[in-house]
Amino acid sequence: MSARFRVSRSARGEVESHFDDFDVELESGATVLDALLQIKRRHDPSLVVRHSCMHASCGTCGVRVNGREVLACDTKVAWLPAGKPIEVEPLANQRLVADLATDMVDFYARYEPVGMPLVRGAGVKAEVDAGIELPEGVKSFGRFENCIECGLCLSACPVARTSGEFIGPAALAAAARVVAEPRGRELAPVLALAAEPDSVWRCRDAMACTAVCPSAVDPARALSTLRRHVAANGLKRFLGRGA
């Protein structure tokens, strides 16, 4: 299988980017990441691209392919329209390192304050409730959260495109997750964060986040749930009973 890749290039600190074309020969099941790594190996070792786990678990290889946010490791070249160049660009609404690599600093500046732990238990709570016996010494089955912190949702979000201050879908989905399963955590700071002007009320329900999420987090739905909590809490506060 041969394909032409049109890859966005820019050195660190450059404002302008340009495209370089590469013709690659791939095996039938190859992913976009396989193609990018082959370009690095055979054509241009200077190509800057992030990757780590190769199985949609680490969230580092997010790019835009033909204008759509995807994980490069999770996108087969055979799925893409044949006969025209495959355009690969870095994620939008984030600072660029170079070429296809974005700097996740701004993403985490919004995501981290929500304080969602990496490992939670609710994903398997139903099984535990159903009477499944836990291994001796294990209090509840731990489970990594679905969100892989890839930033695809922030790149696809139309609000984030025009408002750099918007906290964004991933952070709000994380906040909704904490509200859904507080595990003894004080919710007031999380709800306060969600109630800020650049938070839940900025979302216009474009649903782009949910459409591109590679990990079934469904930020759009989480956000609308969170909005109801924020509204209810605002009303309770007005009546003197809120968090």
Partner 1 sequence: MTVEPGARVDAPEPLTRVDAPEPSAPESGAPHVLIIGGGGTGGALAHDLTLRGLRVTVVERGEITSGTTGRHHGLLHSGARYATTDRASAVDCSAENKILRRICPGSFEENDGLYVAITDEDAAYEKEFLDGCWQSAVPAKRVEREAALRMEPGLNAAMQFAVQVPDATMDAMRVPLRFFATARRHGAEIKPFTEVIALTMAGRTVGGVKVRDHAAGRDYEIGADIVVNAAGPWVGKVAALAGVNVPVVASPGVMVAVRGRHCNMVVSRLHSPADGDIVLPQRALTVVGTSSWIADDPDDLRVPADHVEMVVRESAALVPAIARAEIRAVWAAARPLIGEVGGKKRRSPRRVARADAAGHGAGEAATGPGAGSGAGPATEPAGRNLAREMRCFDHATDAAPIEGFVTVAGGKATTLRAMAEATADVICAKLGLVRPCQTVDYVLLPHTAWYSE
Nearer to partner 1, 77 or 203 (CB): 77
Task: Please state, in angstroms and rounded to a whole number, the distance separating the CA atoms of residues 188 and 194.
Answer: 10
Query: How many residues contact partner 1, by CB under 8 A?
Result: 58
Helices (H), the chain: 32-38, 105-111, 125-129, 152-156, 158-162, 169-180, 188-195, 208-212, 219-238
28: DSSP letter: T
Nearer to partner 1, 174 or 209 (CB): 174
Q: Which stretch binds partner 1 (CB under 8 A): 53-61, 81-89, 189-197, 199-207?
A: 53-61
Sort 174 into a burial class: Cβ within 10 Å, 0-12 / 13-18 / 19+. buried
- The amino acid that residue 183 corresponds to is R
Up-side HSE of residue 216: CA atoms within 13 Å toward CB? 3
| Helix (H/G/I), strand (E/B), else coil: 34 | helix
Q: How many helices (H) and strands (E) would you count in the chain?
A: 9, 9
**Distance of closest approach, residue 217 Cβ to partner 1, in angstroms:** 10
Q: Which stretch binds partner 1 (CB under 8 A): 51-59, 62-70, 165-173, 218-226?
A: 51-59
Tokens linked to 182 = 């507080």
The length of the chain in residues reads 243
48 binds partner 1 (CB under 8 A): yes
Nearer to partner 1, 85 or 117 (CB): 117
Q: Quick one: which of 1, 78, 82, 134 contacts partner 1 (CB under 8 A)? A: 134
Which parts of 19-38 interact with partner 1 (CB under 8 A)?
Answer: 27, 29, 31, 37
Q: Quick one: which of 18, 81, 129, 138 contacts partner 1 (CB under 8 A)? A: 138
182 binds partner 1 (CB under 8 A): no
Task: Please state, in angstroms and rounded to a whole number, the distance separating the CA atoms of residues 154 and 168.
Answer: 6
Q: Quick one: which of 51, 177, 202, 229 contacts partner 1 (CB under 8 A)? A: 51
**Distance of closest approach, residue 234 Cβ to partner 1, in angstroms:** 29
Q: Quick one: which of 72, 91, 101, 171 contacts partner 1 (CB under 8 A)? A: 101
Sort 217 into a burial class: Cβ within 10 Å, 0-12 / 13-18 / 19+. buried
- The amino acid that residue 58 corresponds to is C
65 binds partner 1 (CB under 8 A): no
Residue ranges in contact with partner 1 by CB under 8 A? 11-13, 27, 29, 31, 37, 41, 45-58, 60, 73-74, 97-99, 101, 104-105, 107-109, 111-112, 117-119, 123-124, 127, 132-138, 141-146, 148, 215-216
